[in-house]
Each structure stands twice: as structure tokens, then as C-alpha cells.
A and B are shown apart, each in its own frame.
Chain A
């Protein structure tokens, strides 16, 4: 029998991530989250969240707060459920028929999956920036104006203009596009497109911004700009960012949550997590031993 087959046979079936033996052991010993999952000034709270895709459980018993005026970074190896968790925060997983969410999630005390908070309203309050820049097939102006238009946030054209200019300024894109509002959003470069998407999200004046690997398709310069932008946006919004870059997490976030195979392993101040991780799995990941 070869090493390969041996390895497969002895791995627990629910793991699709290959692991070193000691990591597997550590994971199996994992009982709860290490560190403080609560925020000082919580905007969104989640408790005991389980997410299933059909029979497969993607998230196991995650509790985590997202605080006002802070950036929380979610890190972890591929397939660890951090994106799934993020997408549950504004119910983007609703369209996946097999997806089932249990546990409690709330925004300012209102149950996200309750009757009083409609998904459309929720998504207006919790904006999202995606991994790949996805501007609408419309002009730059219309891209930003779309959200305010459908929600009726502006009563006349001048107000709408103000919102658009303001959002573009906040997203640091205004100077680059002020002469060509009518150009299609898709004509911009990748980094500009991503900032356009951020401007589009800000234009609706959300309370929380979720970012799903916003820089993974961008070059380092564009990434740096977006990171600066995230830091500025922190003054007004609660931000949750999923990232594969630990440097990025260290640079932009105040708190860091480490996910592993659908479980939340450790949460803590970014400094503490990166300099003095308390869980063995976190340490392994951060020191680059796997992931």
C-alpha cells in the first residue's frame, strides 16, 4: 500500500482539507473559540451559527460580533467557511436553495432571518464588496446612482449628483473619473472598478460593509489604495473583510478572526493574533505551516 492511499484512509471523512497529523489532532481537540468574540460596540452579533449546504455542514457553531468603527478581518485556509459566514451576514446565500442557516444573527438587535427584516432592506443596510470587481454594464455615474435610485434616496437630480460625487470622493475615485461620468464602468482598470464598486456600496449609506477578498484580483498598488480607503471608511462604518493575505489582515484590521474548516478557532486583537496566537492551529496558519 502506498503512502497516498494510507493517508486518505486514515483521514476523518468530513475533512476535505489535507492536514498534517498534529493539525488534525489539534482540530479534533478543538472545542470552542479561543479569545473574546464580542466587540466593544457591537453592530452585528451572531451566536451559534451553523450553515449547511444540503447535508454538508459548512459552518460549525460560530459566534462573532462585528463592532462599530472597526475592521474585523476573517482569515483562514481556503474552504474554511469565512466567505460563507460573510455572505450569511447580508443573506446573499438565500438564493442557494440547499443552503440552511441556524443560530442567531442580528443587526442592531434585529434578527437577520426574522420576519421584520426584509432581505432587500437588510442589504441596503449591510453593503457588500465582492472578490471580483463587478460594475454594472452602465455608465460610471449610473453605477453609483443605481442604489440611491432604487431606494429613492434622492428627491431630485441635484441631490443624486451630490450623492454620486460624495461617494466617488469617499472611494477615492472622483479625481480619476470626474471628466467621464458617462463612460461605461467596465472601461475602468481593475483597481478603479473595485473602487467604483466600493463607491456604489457607500452610495446607499449602509451601516456595515462586508468585503469578500476585495483585493484578490488587484495589483499591489491598487491594493494599497483600497487598504487606505478601508482605513478611512472605518470612521463611519462597521467593516468585515475576508482576506487571504495575512499582511493585509494585519495592516487594515483591528480584530482578527481565524476560521478553520468551518469552525471559528480564535478571535482577538489583530496585534495579539499575529504576534502571540493562542491556539496551535492559528499559530500554524500564521507561521505558514499550512494554508
Chain B
């Protein structure tokens, strides 16, 4: 009953009758020219009643003439309109090309600006320091316990090393200016060195320690320290003089900035790293994926393959579609109210962030999964059912593998959205200043886009490059994620 005959009844009256040639011609004439019904009827009867009204052959000739006339008119009309039609097509093609070019241009602009601004963040200026590990200044000996070693006065050691390098610094403020040339990261570096080998105490070691961000930025830019008046910097003339001395002596060096990938956030730009945010994002997305993917796919399969069509499923469907359009901050409020205030899950933790983001991602994945399940040809389902596969086997052996590429595409869109989301995370406290790299899903953490926001908000100029660098890391994360999805999709597609 599926295939219906779409011929019109009018044609059938003539076509189905055991038609004589004259009848046939009359019918053609009837179809082509809007003759009054009476004429057609009489034309059809022409064979039986040769006298009176026009004969069948006359009608046929008239029809032929009419048809050829009509034909040449069609040719003329089509020819006249061709130029216009092709012009429209050409115009439309140009709109498309312009649109593509514009979008590529903007993309290139964005990427170039980010890369140009962000690249300096991947290198760092180091300062060579001769540190005398004087036991008295440190307040420890080679025999001290690790706990005592950790509390030793490394800042004092670094300061005295700087004083030794530039004995001309005189007075409290000048000394302070001198100390500010080197980053506080130097203290940690000395501390690590001593902790690794306590026998160094009493000796003098030569260390490359990170320089302060202002000095570092100038060196990275290859600034001309001999003409301090041309430099745009917060450094004083005296500091610039010391810097020139260091540059001339080759005691400043620009190297790859590994701290950026190993440290958490810091108030000091030269020590701030992306690691904590990267780990936070990874944990959050892991939770989001493990929650949203199975739930969404199961929901989609149920709704598409098993659910009865009634008012309840309609309601569910409408709600899912609406949820996809709910502003993300609303999900943040829900997370705050339900998961933190009611269930007392930890604040600022990837576990809560992940749950909130999976709520946000669910509708996206459900909708795209349903669409791709729907696009699996019904003939595959029939084939499987026809040889006795149970409904579950039909879905899991045949429909789902074929729908998987589409489902994965939807999932990756959802996860990419979750990766870039900040608003709901603000509500659950993932906007905090996190120095430690989170080790578990319940540790306080922040995520990459929040880190970008925090750094963009910081006053130190060196954070500008960090911001762009963090965006580059975020984009790289996204590209890796997409690449994995593409690989998975390729694997599933090969089975088609």
C-alpha cells in the first residue's frame, strides 16, 4: 500500500481505454490546449460520427501545428531568459566566494594576532647568578633535615648574590631596585638545587635563574640598552644600566619557557604557567564526556528506536530542544544550588564543573545523535529484523555503528562548547586563583578559558603575551580533541 499511483484521473479516462489512433490524437489535443470540455468530448466521438464537428485528423493537425508553435515559443523564451539565469548563478557564486574569503580573512587575522602576541610567552629570559651557598646566611648546614632545608633563607642568598654582582647598589631603595631584577622564582630554584644536593652548602654555584618580567620582556625584544630613553618600560635608568652591564657580559639569555607548561598560575608573570588550567580542563572534560556521552546516546536511542509516539515523548522532545537553547549561566546557577548547596560537593572542583557542563552538553549530543540515527536507512533495520535480530540487536549491531560518525561529530561539537565555556563555571567557583596543579577531580581547579580571562584581567604587561599563549594552548587542545574524533570517525566510516 506504500506506493500509490500518481497519475491523474483525467489522463486515465483516455489512456486506459482501448484507444484508436484518432482518440489518442484527440486526447493529446485535449491535454495541450485548454479547449472547452464539449469540444474534447465531441472530438473523442469523432470516429463514430464523421459528420458535423471537426474530424479527428483535423484536430490532430491543429494540435501538431499548435505544438510546434508552442515549441518554438518555448525555445525563444528560454533563450531570452538564459543569460539572466546564468548571471544570477554567477552572482550567487561570487557571493559565496566573497563570504568564504571574508571568513578566512578574519580567521587568519585572529590567528596571526594571537600567534604574534603569544609567541614571546614561550621563551623566557634567564639571568646568570653566582650564588655563594653560605651556611650562615641560609641558616642550615649540610646535615639539616629536608624540612629545615625547605625553610632556609634562600631569598637572602639570592639577594646577597645580586649585591655581590653589583656592589655599587647603595642604600635601601637602590638595593630594592637591584633585587627586583631577578624573579622570586630564583629562590625556588636555589632551594631545589640545595634540596637535591645538600652537600653544595658552603660552595659557590653558578645558576641561570629567571629574570624579572620587565627586564625579561626587554631582553626578549632585543632592546637597545645603550639608549635607555627609547625604551618603554617601568625600569629606572639605574636598573637599565645594570641590565646593559649584564647583557654586555652575556649574563642574560633567552631560553624556552618550560615553566609555562609545568607551573600553575602565579602573581608573577614570569612564573605563571598553564599546567593547572590544562589539568583542570582535562579533568572537567573527562567528567563531561563520561557523563554526557553514554547518557545522551542512550536517550537518543530510546527516543529514536524504542519510545512510543505519544504526548509524553513529544513533551520530552520539546524540552530537550528547548534545553539546548538555555543560556549556559542558568546551568551554573543550577549547579550552585543543587550540587554545591544541596549535595555539598566541593566548590571549584572539576567534578562539579563536569556535571554542570554535561547538563549543558546533553541536549546538543542528544539532538545530533537522534538526527544521525534517523539518517540510517530503514532498509538496514528491515534487513536485520528480517533475519530475526531482536530490536536491541538491530540497534547495536547495525544502526548504532552506522550512526556513530554523526554521533561523534555531535559529541565533539558539544565538548568543544563545554571546553570554551566560562559562565556556568563562574557560578560554581572555578574562577579562583589556583596555584597548585589539581591532582584529582575534587581538587580546586580552574579551566583554560577562565585562565585566559584571569590573565587578560591582570595589570602586568607580561600577562598580555600569557593570555595569547593560553589561547593558543586552548586552540591546540581543541585541535587535538577534534583530531581524535576525526580518527575515530574514520575508523567507523570504513565499516560502512
Contacts and interface: CB of A to CB of B under 8 A. Distances in A.
A130 interface: yes
A268 to B, nearest CB: 24
B5 A7 contact: no
Interface in A255-291: 262, 289-290
B402 A137 contact: yes
A128 B37 contact: no
B496 A1 contact: no
Contacts of A124: 387-388
Interface string A112-155: 00000000111110011110101111100000001100110000
Nearest to B310: A97
A201 interface: yes
A123 B495 contact: no
Contacts of B4: 16, 78-79
Contacts of A122: 388
A3 B40 contact: yes
B393 interface: yes
Interface string B4-41: 11011110110011100000000000000000010011
Query: How many B residues touch the partner, as a band?
Result: 35 or more
Contact of A4 (B8, B17, B385): B8
Interface in A1-16: 1-4, 7-8, 11, 16
B397 interface: yes
A20 interface: yes
Interface in B384-404: 384-390, 393, 397-398, 401-402
7 contacts: A7-B10, A58-B1, A121-B388, A132-B379, A136-B384, A137-B402, A200-B387
Contacts of A121: 388
Contacts of A90: 386
Interface of B: 1-5, 7-10, 12-13, 16-18, 37, 40-41, 308-309, 377, 379-380, 382-390, 393, 397-398, 401-402, 495-496
Residue of B4, B379, B382, B496 with most chain A CB atoms under a 10 A cut-off: B382
Contacts of A128: 382, 386-387
Contact of A127 (B1, B40, B308, B386): B386
Contacts of A26: none
Nearest to B10: A4
Contact of B41 (A3, A77, A137, A289): A3
A92 B386 contact: yes
Contact of B388 (A2, A84, A204): A204
A124 B389 CA distance: 8
Contacts of B401: 137
A90 B340 CA distance: 55
A290 B309 CA distance: 39
A147 B388 CA distance: 7
Contacts of A172: none
Given A3-B13, A123-B388, A150-B388, 13 more contacts: A3-B40, A4-B10, A20-B12, A84-B1, A90-B386, A120-B389, A120-B390, A122-B388, A134-B377, A135-B383, A200-B383, A201-B387, A203-B387
B15 to A, nearest CB: 9
A183 interface: no
A8 B495 CA distance: 51
A119 B10 CA distance: 44
A130 B496 contact: no
B295 to A, nearest CB: 25
Contact of A11 (B3, B9, B384): B9
Contacts of B379: 130, 132, 134
Given A132-B379, A146-B397, A204 B9 contact: no
A130 B386 contact: yes
A197 B12 CA distance: 38
A128 to B, nearest CB: 4
B467 to A, nearest CB: 47
B247 to A, nearest CB: 66
B387 A147 contact: yes
Contacts of A290: 16
A184 B13 CA distance: 49
Nearest to B3: A78
Given A17-B5, A18-B5, A79-B1, A3 B37 contact: yes
A289 B18 CA distance: 8
- Please list the 6 inter-chain residue pairs (A to B) with the smallest Cβ-Cβ separation, ordered nearest first: A124-B388, A4-B10, A134-B379, A128-B386, A123-B388, A147-B387
Nearest to B377: A134
A92 B387 contact: no
A197 B382 CA distance: 12
Interface centre among B10, B41, B398 (most CB of A within 10 A): B10
Name the residue in A4, A11, A130, A289 with the highest tally of chain B Cβ atoms < 10 Å from its Cβ. A4
Contacts of B495: 137-138, 184
A130 B41 contact: no
A97 B308 CA distance: 8
A193 to B, nearest CB: 11
A145 to B, nearest CB: 11
A81 interface: yes
Given A3-B40, A137-B495, A289-B18, A92 B385 contact: yes
B41 to A, nearest CB: 7
A201 B10 CA distance: 44
A197 B386 CA distance: 10
Contact of A92 (B37, B308, B382, B390): B382
A2 B37 contact: yes
Contacts of A95: 385
A83 interface: yes
A78 B384 CA distance: 26
A7 B9 contact: yes
B386 A79 contact: no
B140 to A, nearest CB: 71
Contact of B380 (A16, A17, A134): A134
Given A3-B37, A92-B382, A137-B401, A18 B9 contact: yes
